[in-house]
Amino acid sequence: MKLGEVRSAVRRALNLFDKWNDYVGLVRKHTGYYYELQSIIEDAVHCGIQQALNDFKVLDSEKEIKMEKNKLEVIRKVDKQKCYCCEGKGYIIPSFRGFTIFGFRNKCKTCNGTGIFEETTYFHIVNGICFSGDTLK
């Protein structure tokens, strides 16, 4: 393929990206993300040309990329507090139509009879960035 044809293909792809971006409004023009997306599109065009010609070469941008394996940390935080259902007693005295039935105790299902309610939160940290705090009760 001639150099003019390659440049024409890149220009066409960038024009399609600009039309799409103008319609969707994903990235503001002339920002860092805008130029990064343009370079990704240029690389995609070059990859497509290499695939069509069955001539594979390492792109300049591939030489610069140093991928580190994502470091995933999961931090578990357990928050213990007095059970809100049985008020920390571990049992509930049943009642029938507003009258308390003394002599009977039902084990609290919220704290499983311990009187302590545990709330566990898992923080997912990838490369030092916290992505979520999933709470399990």
Each residue's pLDDT tens digit, 56-112: 888 777 766 555 555 666 677 777 788 777 777 777 766 666 666 666 677 777 777
Triad 108, 114, 118: Cα angle to 5°? 95
CA distance 112 to 18: 59
Distance CA 68, CA 63 (A): 14
Q: Would you list the domain boundaries of the chain? A: 3-64, 72-136
Give the percent of the chain with pLDDT over 90: 15
Sheet holding 72-82, edge to edge: 72-82, 116-126, 129-136
pLDDT at residue 11, as a whole number: 94
